[in-house]
Amino acid sequence: MTCASCAARIEKKLNRMDGVEATVNYATEKAKVTYAGADVSVEDLIATVEATGYTARPPAPPAAEAAAPPPGNGDREQGAAEDDGLTTLRQRLITAVLLAVPVIAMAMIPALQFDYWQWLSLTLAAPVVTYAAWPFHRAAWTNAKHGAATMDTLISVGTSAAFLWSVWALFFGTAGMVGMTHPFEFTIARSDGAGNIYLEAAAGVTAFILAGRYFEARSKRKAGAALKALMELGAKEVTVLRDGVETTIPTSALQVGDRFLVRPGEKIATDGTVVEGSSAVDASMLTGESVPVEVGAGDTVTGATLNAGGRLVVEATRVGADTQLARMAKLVEDAQNGKASAQRLADRISAVFVPIVIALALATLGYWLGNGAGLTPAFTAAVAVLIIACPCALGLATPTALMVGTGRGAQLGILIKGPEVLETTRRADTIVLDKTGTVTTGRMTLQTTHTTDTTTEADVLRLAGALENASEHPIAQAIATAATDATGPLPTPEDFTNVPGLGVQGIVEGHAVLVGR
């Protein structure tokens, strides 16, 4: 798909099938299809899309993720394939901008219009209209073969008409004469068009539309990267316990019922139930609450949360697409695939925009010919309609904005369940927060130190901080940081012991120290 009109056409064709309800999102290049009964299959849906002039394939099943190559070569190859499209688009954009700028400057600034400047403009504009604009021409031809007109049709017809008219005026009109100038005036004067060239319009429109496509592609890629980053919050490998033997396997190979080991500082591989050990789990990535949750045997834990305390043995209860993290990613993806009311309106307009513009151009041609104005001025007026009607961000702005918004929200820990939710936030005047971590940095700090009459604050901080510095617990790290700031480098404790669920103990500079509950 190359524009919102393409998505509208595919959606219309799919919805014409019996029992099928489809939504096609141009920004994500995905279709969400609901169908009932055995009369329709996935192959039928794909065949309908292909008959419309496009290609489609079903999404990869979750099982394919387990069989996917490990991170490394596979990721690099996929990234290279994705980058190829963006790199080609960037090359076409750079070519268009470098060549279009002097063409526009010569057309708009009379002082730059030296003898035969128009022929230099033709030389510079030709690669822009042919090489740089080739994706538009190719898409327009493909759509024409299926009897359809999209925004690419408008771009291709408009730029081609402007370019071909200029070539005709240069070779067969008076535009190629020595001394020909393009006055830059704010008045409207009628002419037959044979002395005018529109190379700056052809080159300029191509450059501007390519720039829009390039930045849109970058935005889509960044939004997709945000969703990918959400999925990558989970652990990549896990240590499973099988027959008493510890074995390291990819997380994707975990099965329900497997027991796996989670050491202090490691991420929990998947959703499960603690069967052995106790610890504090940092679940802030899910709840926004910065205070760790104490867990023990029988408690449930969620994949991708951080084990901040002791050793845990967990039995997997949900794996793959059933985990809480995968469901969160699915929510974000569904939100990106959905359509807000503003986007549905833009899609409806873009679906009829192109045929209306082409009809207006033909009507203009017929009107001028009917008034006896002659073929040259009539064709000039029709070309002018096509040129000025080249589409802007009508079909691109709304889906891209929704996609970037939901993707960025996922990156920041905000899950947006649908585009209509994002759209209705403009009417919100009150925000209610039920978690303190939502509006804090997520890192705890020491606020106050209370001591007895026989001790000083510096001594207490130094002894407690030295012991807590050896612990991974977030509260311990807050005490250790405050102690370092207040007293300087901390001593190394001896006989350090972590008492699960209670605290830590050890010997610091000859003092027996116990920090905890």
Identify which of 405, 404, 433 has the alpha carbon closest to the alpha carbon of residue 421. 405
What CATH number has the domain bearing residue 242? 2.70.150.10
Task: Say how far apart CA 226 and CA 335 lie, in whole Å.
Answer: 13
Task: Say how far apart CA 464 and CA 367 lie, in whole Å.
Answer: 90
Task: Say how far apart CA 176 and CA 174 lie, in whole Å.
Answer: 6
CA dihedral sign, ordered 85, 88, 92, 98: positive
> Looking at the structure, do residues 45 and 20 belong to the same domain, yes or no?
yes
Q: What is the enclosing helix (H) or strand (E) of 30? A: strand 30-35
Write out residues in the chain with pLDDT < 50, as ranges: 63-82, 392
> Looking at the structure, do residues 39 and 94 belong to the same domain, yes or no?
no
Last residue of one domain, picked from the residues 321, 348, 364 = 321
**Per the domain annotation, does 99 fall within a domain?**
yes
Q: Which residues are known to be catalytic? A: 434
Scanning 292-374, the segments in alpha helix (DSSP H) are 324-337, 341-370
> Looking at the structure, do residues 249 and 370 belong to the same domain, yes or no?
no
**Per the domain annotation, does 432 fall within a domain?**
no
Looking at residue 306, the DSSP 8-state letter turns out to be E
CB 467 within 8 A of CB 506: yes
User: pLDDT at position 66, please?
Assistant: 39
Q: List, for residues 62-114, the tens digit of each pLDDT value.
A: 544 433 444 444 444 444 444 557 888 899 999 999 999 999 888 888 888 78
Q: List, for residues 239-294, the tens digit of each pLDDT value.
A: 898 877 888 888 888 888 889 999 888 888 899 999 988 888 888 777 767 678 88
The residue to which tokens 């849109």 are assigned: 216
> Looking at the structure, do residues 280 and 170 belong to the same domain, yes or no?
no
Task: Say how far apart CA 357 and CA 152 lie, in whole Å.
Answer: 13
User: pLDDT at position 230, please?
Assistant: 66
∠ Cα 33 255 263 (to 5°): 120
User: pLDDT at position 363, please?
Assistant: 94
**Per the domain annotation, does 447 fall within a domain?**
no
**Per the domain annotation, does 436 fall within a domain?**
no
Task: Say how far apart CA 48 and CA 157 lie, in whole Å.
Answer: 27
The CB density around residue 471, as the number of other CB atoms within 10 Å, is 22
**Per the domain annotation, does 424 fall within a domain?**
no
Three-class DSSP category at 295? strand
User: pLDDT at position 283, please?
Assistant: 81
Three-class DSSP category at 258? coil
What CATH number has the domain bearing residue 483? 3.40.1110.10
Query: How many residues are there in the chain?
Result: 517
Rg (CA), the chain: 33
368 to 165, 189, 193, 365, 489: CA distances (angstroms): 17, 16, 13, 5, 88
Task: Say how far apart CA 117 and CA 405 lie, in whole Å.
Answer: 46
Identify which of 486, 445, 442, 443 has the alpha carbon closest to the alpha carbon of residue 466. 486
> Looking at the structure, do residues 138 and 283 belong to the same domain, yes or no?
no
**pTM (2 decimals)?**
0.59
**Per the domain annotation, does 63 fall within a domain?**
no
CB 210 within 8 A of CB 92: yes
Give the list of residues 6+ apart from residue 186 with CB closer than 8 angstroms, or none: none
Looking at residue 491, the DSSP 8-state letter turns out to be P
Task: Say how far apart CA 88 and CA 214 lie, in whole Å.
Answer: 10
> Looking at the structure, do residues 221 and 244 belong to the same domain, yes or no?
no
Looking at residue 243, the DSSP 8-state letter turns out to be T
**Per the domain annotation, does 93 fall within a domain?**
yes
Last residue of one domain, picked from the residues 355, 376, 410 = 410
Query: How many domains does the chain fold into?
Result: 4
Q: How many CA atoms lie within 13 A of 328 on its CB side?
A: 26
> Looking at the structure, do residues 103 and 219 belong to the same domain, yes or no?
yes
> Looking at the structure, do residues 203 and 303 belong to the same domain, yes or no?
no
> Looking at the structure, do residues 357 and 291 belong to the same domain, yes or no?
no
Identify which of 109, 126, 111, 475 has the alpha carbon closest to the alpha carbon of residue 280. 475
For strands 306-307 and 312-318, give the pairing: unpaired
User: pLDDT at position 128, please?
Assistant: 94
> Looking at the structure, do residues 243 and 301 belong to the same domain, yes or no?
yes
**Dihedral of the alpha carbons of 64, 69, 73, 74, in degrees to the nearest 10:** 0
> Looking at the structure, do residues 304 and 353 belong to the same domain, yes or no?
no
Looking at residue 291, the DSSP 8-state letter turns out to be S
Q: If you write DSSP's letter for every residue of 270-283 in order, what string do you get?
A: SEEEEEE--EEEE-
**Per the domain annotation, does 364 fall within a domain?**
yes
CA dihedral sign, ordered 76, 78, 81, 86: negative
What are 287's two structure tokens?
């709840």
Range of the domain at 274: 237-321
> Looking at the structure, do residues 282 and 356 belong to the same domain, yes or no?
no
Which residues sit opposite 313 in a β-bridge? Answer: 261, 276
The residue to which tokens 């407690």 are assigned: 464
Phi, psi torsion values for 181, nearest 5 degrees: -130, 160
- Per-residue exposure over 289-303, b if at least 16 CB sit within 10 Å of its own CB, e if not: bbbbbebeeeeebbb
CA dihedral sign, ordered 310, 316, 317, 321: positive
What CATH number has the domain bearing residue 35? 3.30.70.100
- Identity of the amino acid at 35: Y
User: pLDDT at position 97, please?
Assistant: 93
Q: What is the enclosing helix (H) or strand (E) of 7? A: helix 4-15
Give the list of residues 6+ apart from residue 351 with CB closer than 8 angstroms, or none: 4, 5, 8, 9, 12
